[in-house]
Structure 1
Amino acid sequence: MGNLIWHEWARYVTIIASLYTVWGAYWGIFYRKFFWDFIGGTLRAPGGLQPSPGNAFFVDIIVKAPVVQLISIFMAMGMVALEFPAPFLKGTAIQRNFTVKIVLLIMQAFFALLFYQNVDLPVEHEPACAVKGVDIIAKIPESFDKAQAAGDLLFYPSTVYKHAECDVDFEIRLCPALQQKPHLPTPHFNTPQSPSGKPDPFAPPYIPGLYLGDIRDEEEGTEYVILFNKYAVMRHHILLVTKEFQSQTAPLLPSDLVQTYLFLLAAQRAGRRYFAFYNCGDLSGASQPHKHLQLIPVEDDGPPVERLARRTKIDYPDRAFALNNLPYANHVRRLPSSLCSATYDDLERELSGAFLSLLDLVISTARHDPDYPAGTPSYNVILTLEHMHLIPRKKENHTLEETGEQLSVNSLGYAGMLLVKSERELEVVKRTSIGRILRDVGLESVHELLVDEHSRDGGETLLAQ
């Protein structure tokens, strides 16, 4: 009788453990992390723990592709089928074989120990929008291919050329097909109408192939729609658009910042890396009047300018700083590594505080330029999980002296990723110097002057040299 009780108890434990493994592995597909990556890893601020190169194999089969998670699911389901048992296995030799069960349980435990997954995290502690962001991220590759095949999305192949300047490995993307794309005039930012006079392209009804889902900020009640960029130069380029019309000249609101950051975080947990940018104002390179942020996939080390920001040593992580190697005004805030696990309120407070302090510097920089155009200042925003960059703008286009052609620059240019339409334009840009181009459409850096002025005012220093 005692043996029977212990046998049944072991059977129930096996079934429960296997079901738990299935559940944990399922969430592990969306929130991918090698549990033992701290062994030999490097703790970097910002950036958190960086796995050792020796862990590359496990990162490949857990983070880049959920191979281990899928194996765990299949093995655990097999154990449930053996112990329940499934009708087709009941009474068979394999179902009665304890050796087989012990070996399978050991293998199941081994695979389950390789990946980290706290089941309670996505269910109880993650905002609903973060979980939905994971779902949207997961379907991007397949949805992109379907939209392209259906003709809802136009993808322009391109070639990337590296060009080192100002301690940045700039990426110049050559896309000859863009020569066929009609040039759109600067939009009227206060009306929900595209530059061509057509209705707002970001208003419903949405093109089915471009629509990925909705996100709602539960605290503020703001609603967003996630769409593919209809004219994609980079695969999986998506837009986070306010459902109700808001002007592209408006600054980013707390909910805009939080939802964008949560989306970047969801992408990272799904084993992908994105960064976001926002073109604000008529001199920023914006092409549509309806408020939208753009998100683009990048390599693990982020866009080129982010690599420079990451290498920059600062004395005060909670204060703005400038990338002094760059020949134009730029203002950067380093985000705390703990932000990835922060509550909504902490996330909102940190991101809003960083944005407002940088926006104040943008306005102050514009005021120091006697020739700055009248009206609301234009600027570009670049957001990663580690930094927030704001760059004031004075012009939308740079005129290439050799050809007289206009080169449009938006946030991507300041992220270190320029776009050209011909081989000739590519060579001219290289000869002209990317730093010179970005300085021409931006402003002169007055970082040191702002530091001195603030020091004379006797206020709390917001800038770090």
Structure 2
Amino acid sequence: MESTFMRAVRDRTDAAIASGDLQPIQADQVVLQDRGLSFIVRWVAALAAKDAARNPVGVATTLPGGPRDPSFNPFLNPDPALLVGPVGDHHVAILNKFPVCLHHLVLARRVFAEQCSPLEQVDFQALSAVLSVEGGLGFYNGGAAAGASQRHKHVQWIPASDQNASLRALGAGMPADLPQGAIARHPALPLAHCFARVAAGLGEDVQASARSMLTAFNQACIALGLRPDADGLLPPCNLLAGDGWMLVLPRSQEHFQGVSLNALSFGGTIYVRDPAQIDAIRAAGPLQALASVGVPA
């Protein structure tokens, strides 16, 4: 039976597509194999439109972690056509204007905070509120080098689908008896990262799940040396959570040969702006492309 939340997401999506505020998703894809792992490389036309919106003609500079126009903040007063509604006391759910899949959501703070500031209990509560009812994957792009395009603090969510990123494939390669809260490395990932077993997914208690994810995130940050600077900002990093797992990894840069790689790339789905970029991923191999934007192990 469909949840009240998912019904609201579907209704808002249908209305936004009908009004033209959200474009139907057009995508082509190929599947690449690398060290026993499958990667979907998808060309999503909407992402080229996102680049155009971030890079208006005649504007010469980009702010770290945010759009070129520092006064532009689509999350502080969300477009009513894209607004789904509140998620807890501190976040609102908004349809991503440039979605990579159907029902791609932004869970944005109601009050501005820097995207690179450490994730807190309330952020994981918002993620858990959705994951516990809908499953799917929660993720975080912490800073421009990690794929973030906005400075206003937010996490994101995509529904479970065979075509969408997830931690299922990587999780299958982790020790089955890894206790909750413990951290470990995946043997196939050639870059610094931490995997942790967490209470994140369908049927989990929201508060307990949020505490589990916050604890794992903090432990991963310590293990990876992700410490806030004098302004309280973390180095760029990505986080993915779902299906009982969390993956945290530091980032060194956003692009591999012009391809922007964000958290979803590490969940097995790489999104490109141009069909020709698929060839760059194929030539290098997905794991080498991911290693090039991470930090050496």
Letter in 2 for 1:210: L
- Residue 38 of structure 2 is aligned with which of 169, 172, 192? 169
Out of 72, 83, 98, the residue aligned to residue 199 of structure 1 is: 72
Alignment of 1:362-401 (within 5 A): 362-363=224-225, 376-399=234-257
CA distance in 2, matches of 1:152, 1:312: 41
Q: Deviations over 1:139-176 (max 9, x none)?
A: 22232121011122233410222111132211100134
TM-superposed deviation, 1:419: 1.1
Name the counterpart of 1:24. Answer: none
Could you say if the C-alpha distance between residues 351 and 396 of structure 1 is closer, same or farther in structure 2, counting changes exceeding 3 Å? same
Unaligned runs of 5+ in 1: 1-28, 31-133, 218-222, 268-272, 366-374, 400-405, 446-465
1:157 and 1:233 in contact (8 A); partners too: no
430 and 261 in structure 1: CA distance in 2 versus 1, 3 angstrom threshold: same
Residue matched to 1:429: 281
For 1:438, the equivalent position in structure 2 comes to 290
Asked if structure 1 preserves the Cα contact closer than 8 Å seen for 2:32 and 2:41, the reply is yes
**Aligned-residue offset at 1:305:** 4.1
Name the CA shift for 1:167/1:330 in 2 (closer, same or farther; >3 Å).
farther
Structural mapping, 1:409-424, within 5 Å:
409-424=261-276
Q: Distance in 2 between matches of 1:293 and 1:177?
A: 20
1:158 and 1:175 in contact (8 A); partners too: yes
Q: 1:386 to 1:285 in 2, by over 3 A?
A: same
Normalized per residue, the structure richer in helix is 1
Q: Spell out the pairing of 1:14-413 with structure 2 (5 A cutoff).
A: 29-30=1-2, 134-176=3-45, 178-180=47-49, 181-182=51-52, 184=54, 186-189=62-65, 194-204=67-77, 206-217=78-89, 223-267=90-134, 273-299=135-161, 303=165, 305-318=167-180, 319-336=182-199, 340-342=203-205, 344=207, 346-363=208-225, 376-399=234-257, 406-413=258-265
String of CA shifts for 1:424-465, please: whole Å, max 9, x gaps.
2212210111111111110122xxxxxxxxxxxxxxxxxxxx
Question: SS state of the match for residue 214, structure 1?
Answer: strand
Deviation, 1:347, is: 3.2
Distance 1:194 1:303, change over 3 A: closer
Mapped to 1, the partners of 2:242 and 2:125 lie a distance apart of 12
Alpha-carbon displacement from aligned partner over 1:228-277 (angstroms, at most 9, x marks no partner):
0011231111110000001100111011112211211111xxxxx42111
- Give the length in aligned residue pairs: 284
Residue type matched to 1:257 in 2?
F
- Note if contact 1:188-1:195 (Cα within 8 Å) is conserved in structure 2: no
Following the alignment from structure 2 to structure 1, what is the Cα–Cα distance between the partners of residues 206 and 275? 48
Classify the secondary structure of the residue corresponding to 1:303.
coil
Q: Distance in 1 between matches of 2:4 and 2:201?
A: 24
| TM-score, normalised relative to structure 2 | 0.86
Distance in 2, Cα, partners of 1:210 & 1:429: 32
- Is the CA contact (8 Å cut-off) linking 1:254 and 1:352 kept in structure 2? yes
Q: Structure 1 residue 177: deviation in Å?
A: 5.5
Structure 1 CA distance for aligned equivalents of residues 206 and 85 of structure 2: 24
Q: Which amino acid aligns with 1:396?
A: E
Corresponding residue SS for 2:16: helix
| 1:225 alignment partner, SS class | strand
Alpha carbons of 1:342 and 1:296: their partners in 2 closer, same or farther (altered >3 Å)? closer
Q: Which runs of 5+ in 2 are unaligned?
A: 56-61, 228-232
Whole-angstrom distance in 1 between the partners of 2:239 and 2:64: 20
Q: Which residue identity does 2:84 align to in structure 1?
A: L
Corresponding residue for 1:117?
Answer: none
Write out per-residue CA displacement over residues 189-236 of structure 1, whole angstroms, 9 at most, x where no aligned residue: 5xxx743344311112x322101111234xxxxx21110001123111
Which runs of structure 1 show a deviation greater than 6 angstroms over 4 or more consecutive aligned residues?
A: none
Asked if structure 2 preserves the Cα contact closer than 8 Å seen for 1:392 and 1:443, the reply is yes
In 2, Cα distance between equivalents of 1:161 and 1:301: 11
The answer to whether the Cα contact below 8 Å between 1:194 and 1:288 also exists between their aligned partners in 2 is yes
Partner Cα distance (1:299, 1:338) in 2? 14
Counterpart Cα distance in 1 of 2:164 and 2:87: 25
Cα 1:233–1:337 change in 2 (3 A) is: closer
Task: Verify the 8 A CA contact 2:100 2:271 in the aligned structure 1.
Answer: no
Q: Deviations over 1:355-380 (max 9, x none)?
A: 11111122169xxxxxxxxx841100
Query: What TM-score, normalized by structure 1, do the two folds share?
Result: 0.56
CA contact (8 A) 1:362 1:379 kept: no
Please, what is the CA RMSD of the aligned residues? 2.6
